Every structure is written in structure tokens, then in C-alpha cells.
């Protein structure tokens, strides 16, 4: 008997077994009722062996065997958690075998790669979603509703700080793999400004700083950015690999402001501080399994033949902005940009809540940064 869409589970291969895949993604399948983890792809035999035992996974593949995984008939979708510079290749190869793709952000390292990924998905009629987990997270989606409903008046200013200490040797500090503050943490600030303003920037300016530590020999230590939006709205943020762990944003309107603490965190509580006409109210959002929400949402898009909201176009826009920001750093000049229009934006209707993962798994041949 063939299962109906209501009964069927989308079968996933997780490609790349770094710290985030191990700590956040693999444990979350237990909360994703329409999704099933069936395969792992990694060149680290120890990771594959130990994690397959831990999660009861029968099928493991090396990167050389990726094509075998795609054509095995065992998987419907891949979750790509590889270094940034490999996202395009592994997405296109999956799409060409009619396998759906959930790809971590940043989507890729260039606009051309993003466009190739979108084309491959379209040509093969498969779903492509970029893993913007905050598009399904309650605190961020409620922030969207507060701004949209004009509780703080007309939104005028977005400001954010996203900083952490990244130790020497971490892949985020390598240029060849698509590292750097803008691709890794700045993308969260860019995306938040876009979903809160519900618009696209028209001009950008950025300055990078580096005090010369060996660990920052290939990428910038920190970057400060100004994004000009239509109707003369400004978004500013600073991201850093050399600061204490801070993850917050504030959006200021003509009648009040909203501050979100731990705004970009993938686990733990998030907090709102909403001030209107001088009166502040605090709201706490409990910890939830954000990765399970992603798998549930993407699997539902596949089962119901719906287009994911955090689409390839969403990923492409952020990458195009990041490339413009690096051009600004290089030229020391503002850069005017023209991004694609977005007809879909995240709203509170996308909120998915599942209980948090109960325990933090021991990492195998992987080291986590201070926050993400």
C-alpha cells in the first residue's frame, strides 16, 4: 500500500557533519514528524560510523559516493551543511538527480553560483529552500508583525550587533571556503533588516577593521555596515569574529521601538523589549527546536507541492548585497544596488514550534564557536 501525503515522511540525507549538523540538525529529526533521517554523507569515517550508530542510520556515504546516495532511491531530499564554497556544486548535483535541496546559508559565495542553483532546481522541478530558520521562529516573526502593524509608528531605523569569538583554525576564518564576517554573521543582520522593513536596500556602505591577529590573516575581524532602504530608512550593523557573544537588534519607529535579545540564536530563550510612548513591556519566548521547524516546513512544501518562502531568490538577494558590501570595503565608496523584488515575505503564519532538543550531543571531530 502506497502511503498518502499525510502519512508519508520525506527521507533526508545530511551532507556534511560539522558542529552545527551534529549539534542542531541531527538531533532535531525526532521532533520533525513528517521527516526522516536516512543517510549521512561525510569523508570522516569516524563521524559516519559513530553518528550512524547513535541515530540508527543504515546508509553512509563518502563525498566521492555522493552520486550513489542521490541515485540510491533511499532519499527524497538533502540537507546541505557543507562549507559555503561547496553549496552550489552539491545543490546542482542533487537537483540534477531530482532530489530536493535544503541548503544552509549563505546560499553560495557569488550571485552566479546562486543563479546556477536556482536554474538547476527549476530545470528539474525540485524544491530549493535556503535554511533561514528565523523565518519560522516566533520571536522574529512577532517582531515582523509589530513592525507591520505600526505599533511603533513608521519604522525608520534598524540597528544590530552580532559578535562572537572564533578561534584560530575555524573554517569561518578561511577565505577559500567562503568565510568572513558578512557571509557568516552579517547575513543574519542583512536578512533581519529586509524582513523587518519588508523591502530591499538600494545603496550600501561598509568598513572592515582588523587589528592584525594571526587568526584574521585571511578574513576581516569585523565589519560595520550601512544599508539605505527606500523611503529614506537606514539599517546599520556591526558583526565581528573578535568580540564577546552578542546577538541583538533594535528597530526604531516614530512612536516607539522594539529590541530583540539573542535575536539570531538557534537555541535558548529570545526576548522582546517593546517600548511605546515611553512605556516598556518585556516578553519572553521559550526555547524551541528551530531545525525541526525547518525540516517540517520544507517537507510540507514537498508533500503539498508548495514553494518555500525562504527560496533561492531570498538567498540570492542576500549574497548580492554581501558582494556589494565587499565592493564598498574595497573601493571605500557607497555602492548602489538593484535587487530583485520579493513577492513573498515571512509572516507569523509560518511559525512552527517544537520542544527543544533535551541534551547537547557530544561533538565528534568538530568544535563549535561560541554562538551562532
Q: What is the full DSSP assignment across 15-51?
A: E--SHHIIIIIGGGGGG-TTEEEEEEE-S-HHHHHHH
Mean pLDDT along residues 44-53: 96
pLDDT tens-digit readout, 30-48: 999 999 999 999 999 999 9
Q: Copy the grid coordinates of residue 46.
A: 569516524
Q: What pLDDT was estimated at residue 324?
A: 98
Bridge-based pairing state of the strands 35-41 and 10-15? parallel
254 pLDDT tier (thresholds 50, 70, 90):
very high
Return the DSSP state at 267: S
Confidence category of residue 6, pLDDT binned at 50, 70, 90? low
Reduce the DSSP state of residue 110 to 3 states and report it: coil
Cell triple for 26: 541531527
pTM above 0.85, yes or no: yes
Arithmetic mean of pLDDT, 352-367: 86
Cell output for 60: 553512509
Across the chain, where does the E strand assignment appear?
Answer: 10-15, 35-41, 59-61, 77-80, 100-103, 128-130, 155-165, 203-209, 222-229, 233-240, 242-253, 256-261, 270-276, 279-285, 335-336
pLDDT band at 342 (very low <50, low <70, confident <90, very high): confident
Euclidean distance between CA atoms 207 and 210, whole angstroms? 10
Q: So what's the pLDDT on residue 113? A: 98
Residue range 59-71: mean pLDDT, rounded? 98
Average pLDDT for 328-341? 93
For helices 111-123 and 87-96, the axis angle rounded to 10 degrees is 10
Which of 139, 134, 233, 137 shows the shortest CA–CA distance to 192?
A: 134
CA angle 98, 100, 106 (to 5 degrees): 130
With a cut of 60, say whether residue 367 has pLDDT above it.
Answer: yes
With cut-offs at 50, 70 and 90, classify the pLDDT of residue 369.
low
- How much is the pLDDT for 7? 65
Cell matching residue 8 = 508519508
pLDDT at 362: 83
Sheet holding 203-209, edge to edge: 279-285, 270-276, 256-261, 242-253, 155-165, 233-240, 222-229, 203-209, 335-336
Instruction: State the Cα–Cα distance between residues 351 and 293, nearest whole angstrom.
Output: 8
Contact 90, 270 (CB under 8 A): no
User: Cell triple for residue 239?
Assistant: 558583526
In sign, the C-alpha dihedral spanning 65, 366, 134, 314 is: negative
Report the chain's mean pLDDT, rounded to a whole number. 95
Residue keyed to cell 519566548: 285
Percent of the chain with pLDDT over 90: 90
| Residue 1 reports pLDDT greater than 50 | no
At residue 320, the pLDDT reads 97
136 phi and psi angles, rounded to 5 deg: -120, 5
| pLDDT at residue 185 in the model | 97
Instruction: Classify 129 as helix, strand or coil.
Output: strand
pLDDT for the residue 372: 42
Average pLDDT of span 204-222: 96
Distance between CA 211 and CA 81 in Å, rounded?
31
Distance CA 73, CA 173 (A): 37
Bridge partners (DSSP) of residue 257 are 252, 275
- In tens, the pLDDT along 72-130 reads 999 999 999 999 999 999 999 999 999 999 999 999 999 999 999 999 999 999 999 99
Mean pLDDT (whole number) for 180-188: 97
What value, to the nearest 5°, has the Cα angle with vertex 365 and ends 105 and 28?
50
pLDDT tier for residue 206 given thresholds of 50, 70 and 90 = very high
pLDDT at 2: 37
Amino acid at each position: 500500500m502506497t502511503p498518502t501525503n499525510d502519512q508519508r515522511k520525506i527521507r533526508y540525507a545530511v551532507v556534511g557533519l560539522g558542529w552545527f549538523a551534529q549539534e542542531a540538525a541531527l538531533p532535531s529529526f525526532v521532533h520533525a514528524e513528517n521527516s526522516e533521517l536516512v543517510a549521512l554523507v561525510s569523508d570522516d569515517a569516524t563521524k559516519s560510523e559513530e553518528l550512524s550508530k547513535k541515530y540508527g542510520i543504515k546508509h553512509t556515504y563518502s563525498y566521492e559516493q555522493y552520486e550513489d546516495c542521490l541515485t540510491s532511491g533511499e532519499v527524497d531530499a538533502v540537507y546541505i551543511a557543507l562549507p559555503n564554497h561547496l553549496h552550489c556544486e552539491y545543490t546542482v548535483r542533487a537537483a540534477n538527480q531530482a532530489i530536493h535541496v535544503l541548503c544552509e546559508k549563505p546560499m553560495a559565495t557569488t550571485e552566479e553560483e546562486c543563479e546556477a542553483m536556482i536554474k538547476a532546481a527549476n530545470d528539474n522541478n525540485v524544491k530549493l529552500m535556503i535554511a533561514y530558520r528565523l523565518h519560522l521562529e516566533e520571536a522574529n516573526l512577532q517582531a515582523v508583525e509589530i513592525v507591520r502593524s505600526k505599533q511603533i509608528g513608521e519604522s525608520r531605523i534598524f540597528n544590530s550587533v552580532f559578535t562572537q569569538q572564533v578561534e584560530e583554525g575555524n573554517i569561518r576564518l578561511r577565505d577559500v571556503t567562503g568565510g568572513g564576517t558578512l557571509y557568516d554573521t552579517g547575513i543574519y543582520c542583512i536578512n533581519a533588516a529586509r524582513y523587518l522593513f519588508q523591502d530591499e536596500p538600494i545603496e550600501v556602505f561598509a568598513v572592515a577593521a582588523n587589528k592584525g591577529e594571526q587568526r584574521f590573516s585571511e578574513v576581516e575581524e569585523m565589519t560595520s555596515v550601512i544599508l539605505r532602504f527606500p523611503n529614506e530608512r537606514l539599517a546599520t550593523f556591526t558583526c565581528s569574529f573578535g568580540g564577546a557573544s552578542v546577538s541583538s537588534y533594535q528597530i526604531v519607529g516614530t512612536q516607539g521601538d522594539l529590541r530583540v535579545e539573542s535575536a539570531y540564536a538557534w537555541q535558548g530563550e529570545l526576548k522582546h523589549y517593546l517600548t511605546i510612548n515611553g512605556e516598556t513591556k518585556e516578553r519572553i519566548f521559550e526555547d524551541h527546536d528551530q531545525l525541526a521547524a525547518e525540516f517540517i516546513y520544507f517537507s510540507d512544501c514537498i508533500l503539498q507541492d508548495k514553494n518555500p518562502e525562504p527560496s533561492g531568490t531570498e538567498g540570492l538577494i542576500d549574497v548580492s548585497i554581501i558582494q556589494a558590501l565587499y565592493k564598498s570595503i574595497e573601493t571605500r565608496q557607497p555602492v548602489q544596488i538593484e535587487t530583485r523584488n520579493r513577492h513573498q515575505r515571512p509572516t507569523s503564519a509560518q511559525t512552527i514550534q517544537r520542544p527543544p532538543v533535551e541534551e547537547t550531543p557530544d561533538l565528534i571531530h568538530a568544535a563549535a564557536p561560541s554562538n551562532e
